[in-house]
Amino acid sequence: MRSAYLLVSHGSRDPRPQVALERLAWLLQGSREQLPSHKSQVTSRKPQLIPNSEFRIPNSSPAPLIGTACLELSQKPLHQQIAEFSDRALSCGYQQVQIVPLFLLPGVHVMEDIPAEVEQARQALKVKVKLELRPHLGSHTGLARLLQQQLDRTQAEQTILLAHGSRRKGSEHHVEAIAQQISAVTAYWSVAPSLDARVQELVLAGWRRIAILPYFLFAGGITDAIAEVVGQLQQQFPAIEFCLMQPLGATQELADLIWDAIET
């Protein structure tokens, strides 16, 4: 059964995450349009970008249809975005739409909100297209490898893996597991322990070179705020060398990981 793919992000008032999401969709599309294996590099010919955050290709092309949608801060609710994309997919000859939540934590959005929106879209479509909700991106074991690749470029003595945090009980277990794999300690933006508190602990323990690795997909308002906090910490602890890393970003490595998750 031919599948189209809908990448679902949180949504933001900041335009940068949406731009990055579109680029990630482009990388995913390019991987499949040009090459038989998603683990190969993208060639120079670009797929066509058309309105409504959709990459449309001819039915004869081996590459799939890939679209993007947002859970929040969109003009339309997610279930309507899913239904409209599914109708377009059906018109292009696809019988199935796989919905890929680009979320790193198994919080309320992943465990409750998105499944509810998918079910609402399923009822509206009346079985015209099969909808399959894929596991969220953060469940993929390869994320630790991507994070470690960033850390390998630093000379930090200790690393803080800084995640957003979730009000859903138990969601922090995933972050703790990732941190253990990359020999880091954890901090959270919205719940305890905070970045400030964790830095103070490490400074008191004698660490002098500290890397801060934001566990976020794309740059945006929160990563800007993190940079401000790190600047304040640098003033508070001038003898400490802080290295603020970038979020995961719309890279070919992340696109390859997403394809691997889809096909697993």
The model's pLDDT over 119-166, given as tens digits with 9 standing for 90+, comes to 999 999 987 899 999 999 999 999 999 999 999 999 999 999 999 988
**Counting every residue, how long is the chain?**
264
Q: What is the pTM of this model?
A: 0.86
Which helix (H) or strand (E) segment is 66 a member of? strand 66-70
pLDDT at 253: 95
The model's pLDDT over 218-257, given as tens digits with 9 standing for 90+, comes to 999 999 999 999 999 999 999 999 999 999 999 999 999 9
Which residues are CB-neighbours of 27 under 8 A, at least 6 positions away? 42, 250, 251, 252, 254, 255
Banded model confidence at residue 33, pLDDT cuts 50, 70, 90 = low
Q: What domains are there in the chain, each with its CATH number?
A: 3-138+250-263 (3.40.50.1400), 143-244 (3.40.50.1400)
